[in-house]
Amino acid sequence: NAELEAWSFINHISLLYFYGVVKALREKELNGKYSPEDILSIGKNIYCVREHYYSKDTRLSEIPKKDQELLETLGVKLVQ
């Protein structure tokens, strides 16, 4: 039962985020140009990078300017 509850919770959170992307695309009238899958694939390429192995300082990986502008248009604020 605990596994099913955990799966249901994660699935619910995932759907909330997915439909948040759908809503943002519709509000900005970009749903004809981009699909939610396009936006999620952009997000899959963003990750934290440590400059040195022993360093605790992290930064975001490089993001193409076009992708960064699209995310900002949709209201996604990335701190760099």
Identify whether 80 is part of a domain.
no
Using alpha carbons, list the distances in angstroms from residue 61 to 24, 34, 79: 24, 23, 11
Identify whether 79 is part of a domain.
no
Identify whether 36 is part of a domain.
yes
Max Cα–Cα distance, the chain, nearest Å: 45
Note down pLDDT in tens along the chain; length 80 residues: 999 999 999 999 999 999 999 999 999 999 999 999 999 999 999 998 888 888 888 888 999 999 999 999 999 887 65
Distance separating alpha carbons of residues 76 and 30, to the nearest angstrom? 15
Q: State how many domains the chain has.
A: 1
- pTM summary value: 0.75
Range of the domain at 60: 2-73
Using alpha carbons, list the distances in angstroms from residue 14 to 17, 28, 68: 5, 21, 22
